[in-house]
Amino acid sequence: MVEISKVRLGISAEHYAIQWLLNQGHQVFHNVVNTGPIDIVILENNKLIPIDVKIVSLRKNKDLLDSQRRVFRSPNERQKELGVRILNVDLVNNLCYWNENSV
């Protein structure tokens, strides 16, 4: 099996998130720069919502029980200031879901 770089996984996650958001009926605007606090902006109820896409991953521990735990992603200080919501993308199970603790 070929190992995919983190950059390519991130790009795949963003594209999956865009497709998911479009299917939810949102207008989607994608950031063309691959760095920064915002990956995507959606228009929801006449309001712009900034989004950061995060890949769901599991902890890499030798302890079997602990290795099954998901890594928690939270917005950084700049993202909190901007009101960025975190959208988690699970590429293994083909799922998207919002981070409960994001703005």
Q: Half-sphere exposure of 15 toward its Cβ, with a 13 Å CA cutoff?
A: 6
The CA-atom distances, in angstroms, between 20 and each of 17, 30, 36, 87, 89 are 5, 13, 22, 11, 10
Question: 51 is written with which tokens?
Answer: 């989004």
Note the pTM of the prediction, 2 decimals: 0.83
Would you report the helix, strand and coil content of the chain in percent, each value rounded to 5?
Answer: 25, 30, 45
pLDDT at 101: 63
Domain positions in the chain? 6-98
What confidence tier does 68 reach under pLDDT thresholds 50, 70, 90? Answer: low
Tell me: the pLDDT tens digits for 24-61?
A: 999 999 998 878 899 999 999 999 999 999 998 766 66
Question: For domain 6-98, which architecture applies?
Answer: 3-Layer(aba) Sandwich (3.40)
Sheet holding 85-90, edge to edge: 27-30, 40-44, 47-55, 85-90, 95-98
pLDDT at 15: 95
